[in-house]
């Protein structure tokens, strides 16, 4: 999903080097502070003032298995990595993909979800496939995979409008400020279901794996989380959570 661009990652690391990493003030013996950006339904979103979603349920079960209380922190997506680097959170679950570039700086759990990119267009649009985006006005969310994919494939970045939040990109599409928006498949389906006049094109583009991100120096927590995820897949807990959000 949500991918921080390499430029953003470099900025994060530069900030850490400039200001220094303070001691992890998020850690404790029985509490896990988890950063997330709840603008990515059905993985994480706000419902009646609470952060809920597939990722949230998954992390709640992980915390039970490893014997820790979990506290979720609502943060801007492009601030999650710096928050973890400076010790404000212990880990990140926010539809984040484990890219090779990012692996140089953070650890990732075993994958817990496979996604791909989708194109959202208004009803009646002449855009039928990803290649039809050439020459069109395209909306993307800063740091998301759609941002990277569109930027890589279409060098004329003047036609790309980048938004800070998914909701902004969808509103711009509904208002015809852009011709299409590129977003991860499952969130795309959720937004289309709740915004009349839009439809999803299945492009089967940029398949990716979501993982939980952790600091490089906390391999013990990484091992615990991986074992918990494996246990959930073996005992059926993962399938139960998956069915709740995706087998509708």
Predicted confidence at residue 77, as pLDDT, reads: 86
C-beta separation of 32 from 71 below 8 A:
yes
Residues forming a β-bridge with 92 = 35, 213
Q: What is the pLDDT of residues 180-221, one digit of tens each?
A: 999 999 999 999 999 999 999 877 666 789 999 999 999 999
Q: Which residue in the block uniquely carries the two structure tokens 């949230």?
A: 56
Task: Give yes or no for residue 163 having a pLDDT over 50.
Answer: yes
Residue 149 half-sphere exposure toward CB, CA atoms < 13 A: 27
Report how far residue 164's alpha carbon sits from residue 39's, in angstroms, rounded to the nearest whole number.
10
**What's the chain's average pLDDT?**
87
Closest CA to 218 of 84, 113, 100, 122: 84
Give the CA distances from residue 58 to residues 34, 65, 232, in Å, rounded to whole numbers and listed in that order: 12, 11, 9
Q: Across residues 150-172, what is the average pLDDT?
A: 86
Confidence of residue 248 (pLDDT cuts 50, 70, 90): low
Confidence of residue 101 (pLDDT cuts 50, 70, 90): confident
In the chain, % of residues over pLDDT 70? 85
* DSSP line for 117-164: EEEEEETT-S--SGGGGTTS-EEEETTBHHHHHHHHH---GGGEEEES
């Amino acid at each position: 999903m949500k991918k921080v661009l390499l430029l953003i990652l470099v900025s994060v690391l530069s900030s850490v080097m400039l200001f220094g990493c303070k001691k992890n003030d998020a850690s404790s013996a029985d509490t896990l502070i988890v950063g997330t950006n709840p603008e990515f339904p059905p993985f994480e979103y706000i419902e009646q003032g609470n952060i809920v979603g597939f990722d949230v349920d998954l992390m709640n079960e992980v915390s039970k298995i490893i014997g820790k209380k979990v506290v979720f922190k609502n943060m801007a997506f492009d601030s999650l990595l710096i928050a973890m680097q400076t010790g404000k959170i212990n880990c990140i679950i926010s539809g984040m993909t484990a890219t090779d570039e990012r692996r140089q700086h953070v650890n990732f759990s075993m994958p817990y979800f496979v996604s791909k990119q989708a194109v959202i267009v208004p009803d009646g649009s002449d855009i039928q496939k990803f290649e039809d985006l050439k020459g069109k006005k395209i909306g993307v969310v800063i740091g998301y995979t759609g941002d990277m994919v569109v930027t890589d494939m279409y060098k004329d970045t003047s036609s790309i409008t980048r938004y800070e939040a998914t909701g902004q990109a969808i509103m711009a599409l509904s208002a015809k400020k852009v011709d299409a928006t590129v977003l991860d498949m499952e969130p795309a389906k959720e937004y289309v279901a709740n915004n009349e006049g839009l439809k999803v094109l299945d492009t089967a583009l940029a398949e990716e794996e979501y993982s939980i991100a952790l600091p490089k120096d906390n391999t013990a927590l990484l091992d615990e989380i991986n074992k918990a995820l494996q246990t959930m897949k073996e005992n059926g807990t993962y399938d139960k959570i998956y069915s709740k959000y995706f087998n509708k």
